[in-house]
Amino acid sequence: MKTASGGVVPLSWAPMDSQGYQDLRQYKEPSATADQLGRLRTMFALAFSRHTTCIASSDPSRPLGVAHIPSTSGLRPGEHPFETHIMSMLASSVPRVSIRYVGSTDGTRNSRRSLDPDQWEIELPPTPLSRVLVFDDTWVSGGHAQSVAAAFEQRGIASRIVVLGRALDPSRNDHGTYLRAHPATPYDSSICPVSRRSH
């Protein structure tokens, strides 16, 4: 898959029994607390203030846009909470790309996660783009984000997927083995989400 210098960049690991995972699940709901929104906004702000050049290098010859993965249920009217609470922190001068899910809303959520770029409609801004940061809140199977990345690829636009949290299920053998070998620790903004090195 064509990328903007890397495929998937998780800003954090989110074990499903952690506060971070609960924040990612609940921030979209009317019952979300100021603390939950604040933790996600702080993590996003720290990651981009400290590691902007790693996440999205400055290259005037390759104009950059941003987009986010919308809901696929068809039940969320109006602006998505990710736009309201997270993407609003990005400079308004960065071109926004509108993405809309046009696939079926019938069936299970997993059925909508299949890799299918034709389920997504992309509306590009008037400004020409050669690359885009595609934001998602939680990476579970990655089906939505990968389908959107494939849709951008069909248009000749490179993409990098940036997710707030990579969900890890401790009850799964592979996830559980990883978590036992790498116990969860508090978020450390000095660690680059791209290189995974401290700088």
Token reading at 190? 């000095």
> Rounded to whole angstroms, what are the CA distances from 23 to 32, 98, 187?
8, 25, 14
Q: What is the pLDDT of residue 75?
A: 60
Which secondary-structure segment (H or E) carries 43?
helix 34-55
Beta pairing, strands 13-15 & 158-168: parallel
Query: Per-block average pLDDT, block size 10, for the chain (199 residues)?
Result: 63 94 94 96 96 90 93 72 93 93 76 82 94 94 91 94 94 92 90 93
Q: What is the pLDDT of residue 4?
A: 41
pTM, two decimal places = 0.89
Q: Is the dihedral of CA 33, 55, 65, 8 positive or negative?
A: negative
Q: How far is 15 from 24, CA to CA, in rounded Å?
A: 11
> Rounded to whole angstroms, what are the CA distances from 108 to 53, 73, 74, 189?
39, 10, 13, 36
Q: What is the pLDDT of residue 153?
A: 94
Q: How far is 57 from 72, CA to CA, in rounded Å?
A: 30
Q: What is the pLDDT of residue 76?
A: 65
Q: What is the CATH number of domain 3-160?
A: 3.40.50
Q: What is the pLDDT of residue 133?
A: 96
Cα–Cα nearest to 167, from 157, 178, 158: 178
Contact at 8 Å (CB) between 141 and 115? Answer: no
Rg (alpha carbons) of the chain, rounded to whole number: 17
Q: What is the pLDDT of residue 32?
A: 95
Task: Using alpha carbons only, give the angle 135, 69, 171 rounded to the nearest 5 degrees.
Answer: 85
